[in-house]
Structure 1
Amino acid sequence: MNTATDTTHCDDLMTALTVFRKDAARVHRWGGTLAAHLADGSRLLVAGNGGSAAQAQHLTAELVGRYRADRPPFSALALHADTSATTAIANDYGVQEIFARQVGAHGRAGDLLMLLSTSGASANLLVAATEARRLGMTVWALTGPAPNPLQAAADDALCVRADSTATVQELHLVAVHMLCESFDSAIERHTARPRRSPARQHWAVTGKERP
C-alpha cells in the first residue's frame, strides 16, 4: 500500500478547505437571504448534473425535511428529480433545456435558483440561469475555480479553488451544510412575522395571483 498516495486526497482537501473558510461569510449571508425569502412564501429551485445533482437533492431534502432541530417545512425543489419531466424535455427540446423549461414552469419573481457545477460550464445550467434572470429570480452558483461562465451568469457565486473535481464536490457539501446551519439560525428571526402564502407573495411581487 502506497501511504503517500493514499493521503494525497486528504492533503488536497485540507488545503482547499483552508482557503474555503474565507468564504464562510458569503454562505452565512446566503442562509439569511434564503430564510427571508422562504419564510415569506418564496421557493428555492436547485439543479446540477451527476454528483452535483446529488448535492442539489441533499440540500432540498434538508429544507423540506429538517437539518437538525425540528422546524416547519419550506419549499425547495431539485429539478433533476422529476425523471419523467427531464427525459421528456430532453427528448422534445434538447438536453440544454431540461432545467430552463422547469424554471419557467415553477419559478416566479422573488424565488431563488441555486446551480451546482464543478466546471461552471454546463450548458443546461447556463440556460437555466438565463431563464431565471428573465423571470426576476435570484441566481446563486456553487462552482469550481473562477473565472467560469456560470459565475458570470449568476447574481452571486461561491467558487471553490481546488484542482480536483472530487475536492470541489466535497467542499460543495460543506457549503450545503453551512447554508442549512445558517438558514436554521436565521429562520427563527422570521417565524415571528406573519408568514405569507406563496400566492400572496407572488401577488406582492407581480400583482398577479400565483397559480
Structure 2
Amino acid sequence: MQELIKTIFTESIQAQIAAGEVLQDALESGALSIAQTLLNGNKLLSCGSASCDMLAKHFAGLLVNFFETERPCLPAIPLTAEHRQLSYSASTEDHDLFARQVRAFSQSGDILLVVSVDGSEKTVISAVEAALTKDMKIIALVGDDGGELTGLLGPNDVEIKVPSKRPARIVESHLFNLHCLSQLIDNTLFPQEDM
C-alpha cells in the first residue's frame, strides 16, 4: 500500500509540473482579465460541473473575502444548484440551472468563470452559452482536450487547460490554479512591496 501512496503522490506532482510548464500564459491572462473586469466596476460569476462546483464556490469566496492577505471585498457571485428548490416549473431542466442564473445576475462586461473536468458537462455548456449572449468574457478551467467547451470560446476568452486525462489530477490542478489566480489578482490590485 505504501508503494501505491508514493505512486499517487508522484503522479500528482508530475501533473502539476506539466501544468506549470504550459499554463503560465493562460493564468496570467486570466488574472489580468479578472482584475481589469473588477477595476471596470463589473463582477465575476462562477460555476462548476458536479465534481467542480465546490471549487467554483471556493474561488468566489476567496474574492469576496480574501486569499492570504486581508484586502477590500471583490464582487463575485457563485452560481448554485440550490436555486433548483426555488423553481415552480417541473419543465425547468437541470442543465439550464446555471444558465438561468447567468441571465438573471449578469450584465455585459462581467466575467463567467467555469470549472469543468472535461468540458462536456451540460450545466457548464449552457451557462457559457448564456454568458455569450450577454457579451461576457469566459474563463474556463478544463482538463483533457477541453471537450465541447473549447469550441465555444472566442479569441478574448481564456482557457486554462490542465494537460491530464485523470479526473483526480485535473481537479487537484484546478484548485492549485484557482489559488494561483487569487494570488495574481491580489498582487495586481493590491500590490505590496514585501512580496
- Give TM-score, length-normalised by structure 1: 0.83
Distance 2:165 2:8 in 1: 11
Secondary structure of the residue aligned to 1:66 is coil
Q: Which has the higher helix share?
A: 1
Distance 1:31 1:140 in 2: 10
Superposed CA offset, 1:121-147 (max 9, x none):
001111111110111000111011114
Distance 1:122 1:110 in 2: 25
Matches within 5 A, 1:1-211: 2-22=1-21, 23-80=23-80, 83=82, 85-89=83-87, 91-154=90-153, 155-188=157-190
* 8 A Cα contact 1:28 1:178, kept in partner: no
Superposed CA offset, 1:169-188 (max 9, x none):
00000100000011001113
Compute the RMSD of aligned alpha carbons.
1.6
Distance 1:73 1:12 in 2: 36
Distance 2:31 2:67 in 1: 13
Identical-pair percentage: 24
The structure with the larger Rg is 1
* 8 A Cα contact 1:151 1:159, kept in partner: no
Distance 1:91 1:8 in 2: 47
Distance 1:8 1:87 in 2: 42
Once structures 1 and 2 are overlaid, which stretch shifts more, 144-153 or 104-113?
144-153
Matching residue's letter, 2:189: I
Distance 1:119 1:91 in 2: 29
Matching residue's letter, 1:112: I
Aligned residue pairs total: 186
- Give TM-score, length-normalised by structure 2: 0.89
Once structures 1 and 2 are overlaid, which stretch shifts more, 91-100 or 128-137?
91-100
Distance 2:185 2:39 in 1: 10
